[in-house]
Structure 1
Amino acid sequence: MVNCCGLVTDNKEPVPLKGIDAQLEVKDHVATLVSTLNYENKEDKPLEAVFVFPLPGDAAVCHFSAQIGKTHIVAEVKEKQQAQEEYDDALSSGQQAFLLEESDESPDIFSLKVGRLPPGESASIRLEYVTELAVQADDGLRFCLPAVLNPRYQPQGSEGPSVQVTSVPASLVPYSLSFSARVSSPRPVSKIESSCSLEPLQYINADQTQATVKLGGGHKFDRDIELLIYYKDTHQPSAVVEAGQASAKPGSLMGDPVVMVSLYPEFPQSVMSSLAACGEFVFLMDRSGSMGDRMNNSAPQETRISSARDTLLLLLKSLPMGCYFNIYSFGSSFEHIFPKSVEYNEKTMKEALEKVEKMQSNLGGTEILQPLEHIYSQACILKHPRQLFVFTDGEVGNTKEVTDLVKKNAGSHRCFSFGIGEGASSALINGMAKEGGGHAQFITGADRMQPKVMQSLKFALQPSVADISVSWDLPKGVSATVLSPPITAIFQGQRSLIYAQLTGPSSEAADGSVTVKYSLAGHSSQNQLHFNLKPAEDSGLTVHRLAACTVIRSMESEERTQKINQDEEMKKKVVEISVQSGVSSCFTAFIAVNKDSGEAVQGPMVRRNIPTEMYRICALMDMSYSAPLRSSGFDQSPTYEGSAAKSFNLASKKKKGGIFSGWFGKKSSCKKIERAPNFSSEYSEIGSARLATELPHSLTVGVQSQKDPVLQLVSLQNASGSWMLDEALAAVLGKTKEEVEKAKPELVNSEVWASILALIWLHGFKMDAKEEWELLSMKAASWIKAQNAPCVSECVEAGNKLLHCSMKKEALGL
């Protein structure tokens, strides 16, 4: 039987979740979020409310409690099977119970069950988690409160737990959301940006090291809430020592002090001045149906796949001559442009671009594992380190399997991952980059994909750091046990985090230091940080919980990759640390039972599934997926044509593994779907509007390129970095070919002249897009200098006159 949320049925049954209040506190680069979920049962019988929702994939859930009237219950962390049995036992005996558990397949999906809420009763659920904020390539710290839960695609034939999910359009989500944030740091807060409307930033103190911000009015559940926090002088190394928990056993992780060290390695300028001219660059592009969705509402003609095509154009034009490259694309199956990576030159670049222009979002589901396995099976090219770029909207059910594969092959490559659009799985995107020693980026809201990708290409062109070691200099009798996995990648200006447990007696006045040594381009380098051992005040065990989460995730990964599922030893260790620290894991769950109610709640209990906003639900999938979905399990029968009229309700099967049993299951699909007559007319309008905006592929390829003169100019550049003097170039410059030829100095050949004009135009008119064209302009400048052309200064002067600019030769890199 399919259980529908009340809002979805004809009976108009009420939804028990009334509102969510989320309060964020950010201290430097650590965020603590407290969410309060308010439930009310307006029905005449007791109910069980089930809410499936996303959280950041690297978050440590550390508190779960319930308030029913005057009764306050704090949940305990217990082994998952035990917690599930206690929950079932409580319900069968008429008691109120609450269960919070993590999906077995992806650490960014949680299920909250509020069991046996009596008629007319209210309950307030408090959920708290801590997370590290990732540093973006533009030095902003990114926090994301996921509000969008996309259907996760499960590969054909895979067995896995699943969950019952109900989805509705954003305008019909029946509960409200309020969100506020308080930010504090030793350094001034320079600005806070968001993809959502915010009220003006309010500074609390004169030195602007503390600030508050709130979500603006009218926010709808059509997007994640993303904050980008910028501090002045953000690249400052720091160390925070946190005292252990007084009630915990000395010598345990929670009983001893823990230090969190943040390092920002600075590479020698001599190394950074010359980016690598070698490497194997492998681009893996998602071409599943959802990539046909719009990038954002402000540019309705730009879809994710069209933006991806433009991005590949920029990437291919920016690669150094002599490197190797290949492009793979995937959906339910995968394709490649070349059988194996080829040397980058004019011929191979043009051949690749011709095929890129024809790419559509027509390959069905999101099976990323198979192309990754194929890429890793290809032999690496000597003296050309492999750099893998993965672009996906991140909707897979086998997240842990994918990240484990990347980890297994971490020694042969660096992985740079890009989450495209609302609802991209943070566990997948961050996990691939972390395990692959690369960098993760998220493209949401009105973000353009191109500048973020080009920032990551700069990282990929940095030489690989080798022989990384960490050493400690501490007072006599004090030792440090590193809790973090070994550092495998270091990038210029990017943060490296280390957690360590400190044991032994120490004076609070004593100092210690940590040194990271590494080899870069054959030269030995090191970064050292001195810190005081005095514990920070009012830290609330945040550092301990983040450290515990780091240890738990590392052990979970080790348990999976070493295939020791039959050996219970690793699982016992994870459960022990999880219970001791109060931090969730895939083997544990939070359980709370109200034993103070006195008498059992009478009557048969009904189930109400809380609807989650889904940005791309099945309602739009049949408009996106133009390839047959044979392996995805989506029903293709005429009955389901125009699936805009469907609600995404999957039957839940009670398994030993928990309630995750109808969504992540075999062939994750829309087969078990009921029509929702209430939605049919509205969804049909959505579909009609979408179809009206989607042009045939022959008309949409390069739509953005035609409108964007920068991409037009880039498309004309040769692989060497030069431009040809022709009518197309002249048109971008706003001139005729005759005007351009007439202004050319006599002794200079046409190619050099055209390339100098292109550089002047970029620097003179398009500095706002410099991140996108900076690398290819450096390549152009290198080509011009290699020609030893006469009269370069005269060319720049003549070019300035022609284009009405005033650029200096030095500014152009000449």
Structure 2
Amino acid sequence: MRDCCGLLTLKNEPGKNMGSVQLKVQGFVADVCSTLSYENSESSPVEAVFVFPMEEDSSVYDFHAEIGGVKIQAEIREKQEARDTYDDALSSGQQAFLLEESDESRDVFRLSVGSLPAGQKATVCLSYVTELAVEADGALRYCLPAILNPRYTPAGLCLPVLQAQSLTTPVSGASGGLVPYSLSFSAHLASPSGVAQVKSNCDLTPLEYLRDDKTQAQVSLSPGHKFDRDVELLVYYSHPHQPTAIVEGGLASATPGSLMGDPLVMVSLYPEFPAAASTPQSSCGEFIFLVDRSGSMDCPMSNMESGPMRIESARDTLLLLLKSLPLGCFFNIYGFGSHFEAFFPESVKYTQQTMDSALGKVKGMGADFGGTEILEPLKDIYSKACRPGHPRQLFVFTDGEVGNTKDVINEVKKHAGTHRCFTFGIGEGASTALIKGMARVGSGHPEFITGKDRMQPKVMQSLRFALQPAVNNIVLNWDVPAGLEVVPVSETPKVLFRGHRSILYAQLKGKFDESAVGLASLQYSLGDEPHKTEISFKLQSDKHTGLTTHRLAARTLICSLEEGGSVEGEGEDKEKVKERVVKISTEARVISTHTAFIAVNKDLNQAVQGPLIHRNMWPQRRSLRGQALSYSFMPQVEMLCDDQSDMFCGDVMYMDSGFNAMSYDTAPDAEVKEDPMLTLISLQKADGSWELNESLVSVFEKKEQEAISKMPAEVSDKAVWATVLALLWLHGFRADLKEEFLGKRASLKPCLEAGNRLLGCKVEPQTLAL
């Protein structure tokens, strides 16, 4: 059977699909309207089932459809009630649409289009808002996912797991060639600090400024874009770390005193620790690296024609971290798949010998451990006692293809008091629910690695966060006029990192003068020293936000309730949590795990005639050179059933251990020149120095003898000379990465002038703090 994805006809040909996405970015919040049009070219009515990915923290607030010129507005209801309504509509020959979030993962949605007659067109439109992540270089990142990786079901569990890709990925036509869906994508950007530039992994039209002060701009995907990979947009503001506060008026039709009826304030703070307090710890910490070695890690990072495999990126990421650990700390490395293995029985002290031993094993790491079972190695790590005086930091590297996402997140949350969890999503299609969820409950930081271009600063940012001293006694205070009460919606942050954004939501109850001013103050302690970050804001409502703040706040509250209820709630408590989630979800029109959007075409004059054909998504991957990968499913089963209570029962399910039997139809790879930066990192010693040899000087495009001849006469140690050359090269030619190695260096001042002459750069002594 040929693996295809998309809506297929009886002749195994793709249906006619096209989509459009309109993105509005206001500050650090994105409002997205996504539209998909489909025409049923079959001779019988079709029930189309689309499964597609979405960012984990997205808040879907509107869904409607248009069929036969009639607009059908969806209502949000309790999930089982919505499913029953959908089933009843189809059984009576009516047309219906059902949009629901996965029970197991917040970043996966299922859209069912029921009873679409032969030859008829349908258009579905959904809208959502989301907070934009801040990258290590200050960019705001928006991602439009094109790929939903198959989710592996751990052994012994019976989970209804999704095995599909986005409705917008390429499909295989009858001839076997790729037939991409058409996509139009436009973005309107607005920020009072000014839009500096926009970058993307896809071709864009030139950035067009709509105002002379550059506070508004627009950009689009270039015509002819093939939606065969995630669309990543990086927006750079002139002053990205400015604290902001926005007050949004309540919904006039909502009940006064409710979340939607009262004004809300959204505060974004960037704590800046004093330089003395933010110095990285020199030798404290236990660092556990948990690396995905399942078969799916042997897939390409993206659908691009060339590029590294995921396991290669994981090895490079691990190399960066191992070379940057402080002397005297402890570390260990786990690999996991269907089983797991640790490099050392217990964490070992970080020395030149243990680092060399670990690096040798890292180089031999392959994607050869079968399925993706992360829960058991987590339990093994948590079962080991922490070392006194060495706070444990867990770093997880995975493509996120697991079906028990909530179980994994709950396990991390149980042990958040003794561990911090930093996560790296490797490759396109990594589960944002898993990567962000583990980091959120583990008081860490998530990163997504989709290529080598920005891997290094992302990795080092997470390590700097892990090395920062613990922040204690975090308290959020509000100073507002008399008669006004501030009710927090989001929890006070449990962890703070220098320069890391904290977003807080609060409800404003009571009467107040909109010309008055409020003050939000985040207080915390570093060691014995108290510190404070604050921002004042006008209580006047912003007229241009719509209900964005309310929708994001509702989603934040729902997620907090769901996560708290899933761990602590039992019996009646769980039911109470569900009732509250359903109430907030329906009032705010924001979808949740317990609710769904349902739309029924009640204006249809007669029932749809003929047998209803089910059409489901099928997974397809691309190899490194563009050929299709062949997956081995044991057995490969299409399960079609009428019982909607078994979530996603119509999708292909893994019944085996996963990806052990992949075949690649690819030509041998052409020789790829290694990144000189990674070469330099691989040559660094545990104490931060380098040895003078041919491998090192080749990074500088010099010969070893030439480097030796230029060494100052008063310097007798070649390692000192080699180290200053390495640091000069970093500062002179890779200044964007210079902070990665400043914590490890010898006394190098005598070599500075000679090194500048040899390398042809001009680095001042104060730059190296000499």
Superposition TM-score, scaled by structure 2 size: 0.92
Matched with 2:539 is: 533
* Amino acid in structure 1 at the alignment position of 2:112: K
TM-aligned CA distance change 1:431 to 1:653, over 3 Å = same
1:11 paired with 2:11, answer yes
1:748 paired with 2:724, answer no
- Where 2:308 maps in the other structure, the secondary structure is coil
- Taking the TM superposition and a 5 Å limit, the aligned residue runs for 1:241-640 are 241-295=247-301, 300=306, 302-445=308-451, 447-564=453-570, 567-609=574-616, 614=621, 634-635=633-634
- Where 1:269 maps in the other structure, the secondary structure is coil
Cα contact 1:290–1:616 (8 A) shared by 2: no
Give the Cα–Cα distance (whole angstroms) in 1 for the partners of residues 71 and 509 of structure 2: 36
Give the Cα–Cα distance (whole angstroms) in 2 for the partners of residues 65 and 297 of structure 1: 31
TM-aligned CA distance change 1:186 to 1:728, over 3 Å = closer
Cα contact 1:397–1:664 (8 A) shared by 2: no
* Amino acid in structure 1 at the alignment position of 2:578: K
- 739-748 vs 321-330, which deviates more? 739-748
Give the Cα–Cα distance (whole angstroms) in 1 for the partners of residues 262 and 658 of structure 2: 50
Cα contact 2:147–2:165 (8 A) shared by 1: no
Cα contact 1:328–1:334 (8 A) shared by 2: yes
1:709 paired with 2:676, answer yes
1:692 paired with 2:691, answer no
TM-aligned CA distance change 1:751 to 1:39, over 3 Å = closer
Cα contact 1:148–1:614 (8 A) shared by 2: no
Note the alpha carbon deviations across 1:39-84, whole angstroms, 9 max, x for none: 2223333221111111111111110111223422211111111111
Counterpart among 731, 743, 755 of residue 778 in structure 1: 743
TM-aligned CA distance change 1:288 to 1:152, over 3 Å = same
Cα contact 1:422–1:615 (8 A) shared by 2: no
Give the Cα–Cα distance (whole angstroms) in 1 for the partners of residues 262 and 439 of structure 2: 31
Cα contact 2:3–2:618 (8 A) shared by 1: no
TM-aligned CA distance change 1:400 to 1:212, over 3 Å = same
- Where 2:22 maps in the other structure, the secondary structure is strand
Structure 1 residue 596: Cα displacement: 1.2
Note the alpha carbon deviations across 1:413-433, whole angstroms, 9 max, x for none: 222211111111111111122
- 439-448 vs 741-750, which deviates more? 741-750
Structure holding more helix per residue: 1
Structure 1 residue 723: Cα displacement: 2.5
Structure 1 residue 12: Cα displacement: 4.3
Cα contact 2:180–2:227 (8 A) shared by 1: no
TM-aligned CA distance change 1:610 to 1:20, over 3 Å = farther
Give the Cα–Cα distance (whole angstroms) in 2 for the partners of residues 256 and 263 of structure 1: 23
1:29 paired with 2:28, answer yes
Cα contact 1:163–1:662 (8 A) shared by 2: no
TM-aligned CA distance change 1:597 to 1:714, over 3 Å = closer
Structure 1 residue 329: Cα displacement: 1.4
- Where 1:591 maps in the other structure, the secondary structure is strand
Segments of 5+ residues of structure 2 without an aligned counterpart are 172-176
Give the Cα–Cα distance (whole angstroms) in 2 for the partners of residues 452 and 4 of structure 1: 35
1:198 paired with 2:204, answer yes
TM-aligned CA distance change 1:107 to 1:722, over 3 Å = same
Matched with 1:698 is: none
- Where 2:409 maps in the other structure, the secondary structure is helix
Count of residues in correspondence between the two structures: 759
* Amino acid in structure 2 at the alignment position of 1:227: L
Cα contact 1:164–1:649 (8 A) shared by 2: no
1:60 paired with 2:59, answer yes
Structure 1 residue 808: Cα displacement: 2.9
Give the Cα–Cα distance (whole angstroms) in 1 for the partners of residues 484 and 170 of structure 2: 57
Matched with 2:765 is: 809
Give the Cα–Cα distance (whole angstroms) in 2 for the partners of residues 746 and 192 of structure 1: 49
Structure 1 residue 38: Cα displacement: 1.3
Counterpart among 704, 710, 722 of residue 689 in structure 2: 722
TM-aligned CA distance change 1:614 to 1:581, over 3 Å = farther
* Amino acid in structure 2 at the alignment position of 1:138: D
Give the Cα–Cα distance (whole angstroms) in 2 for the partners of residues 508 and 742 of structure 1: 69
TM-aligned CA distance change 1:544 to 1:18, over 3 Å = same
Counterpart among 236, 246, 267 of residue 242 in structure 2: 236
TM-aligned CA distance change 1:598 to 1:668, over 3 Å = farther
TM-aligned CA distance change 1:603 to 1:359, over 3 Å = same
Structure 1 residue 514: Cα displacement: 1.3
Give the Cα–Cα distance (whole angstroms) in 1 for the partners of residues 223 and 707 of structure 2: 54
Matched with 1:39 is: 38
Identity %: 52
Segments of 5+ residues of structure 1 without an aligned counterpart are 624-632, 637-647, 674-682, 695-702, 786-791
TM-aligned CA distance change 1:543 to 1:709, over 3 Å = closer
* Amino acid in structure 2 at the alignment position of 1:774: E
Counterpart among 631, 640, 655 of residue 652 in structure 1: 640
Structure 1 residue 620: Cα displacement: 6.3
* Amino acid in structure 2 at the alignment position of 1:711: L
Give the Cα–Cα distance (whole angstroms) in 1 for the partners of residues 608 and 8 of structure 2: 27
Structure 1 residue 174: Cα displacement: 5.6
* Amino acid in structure 2 at the alignment position of 1:177: L
* Amino acid in structure 1 at the alignment position of 2:399: D
Cα contact 2:153–2:161 (8 A) shared by 1: no
Structure 1 residue 763: Cα displacement: 2.9
Give the Cα–Cα distance (whole angstroms) in 2 for the partners of residues 558 and 337 of structure 1: 34
Note the alpha carbon deviations across 1:269-301, whole angstroms, 9 max, x for none: 222345554211211111122222334678947
Structure 1 residue 805: Cα displacement: 4.1
TM-aligned CA distance change 1:114 to 1:739, over 3 Å = closer
* Amino acid in structure 2 at the alignment position of 1:333: H
Cα contact 1:163–1:659 (8 A) shared by 2: no
Give the Cα–Cα distance (whole angstroms) in 1 for the partners of residues 442 and 6 of structure 2: 44
Which has the higher relative contact order, 1 or 2, with Cα contacts under 8 A spaced 6 or more apart? 1
Structure 1 residue 535: Cα displacement: 1.3
TM-aligned CA distance change 1:572 to 1:274, over 3 Å = closer
Counterpart among 733, 749, 752 of residue 796 in structure 1: 752
Structure 1 residue 614: Cα displacement: 4.7
TM-aligned CA distance change 1:185 to 1:342, over 3 Å = same
Cα RMSD of the aligned pairs, angstroms, is 3.0
- Where 1:650 maps in the other structure, the secondary structure is coil
Give the Cα–Cα distance (whole angstroms) in 2 for the partners of residues 480 and 538 of structure 1: 22
Cα contact 1:48–1:117 (8 A) shared by 2: yes
Give the Cα–Cα distance (whole angstroms) in 1 for the partners of residues 762 and 686 of structure 2: 28
Note the alpha carbon deviations across 1:428-451, whole angstroms, 9 max, x for none: 111122112122111225635333
Cα contact 1:276–1:462 (8 A) shared by 2: no
Give the Cα–Cα distance (whole angstroms) in 2 for the partners of residues 465 and 800 of structure 1: 40
* Amino acid in structure 1 at the alignment position of 2:219: V
* Amino acid in structure 2 at the alignment position of 1:760: L
Cα contact 1:173–1:612 (8 A) shared by 2: no
Cα contact 2:295–2:371 (8 A) shared by 1: yes
Cα contact 1:423–1:615 (8 A) shared by 2: no
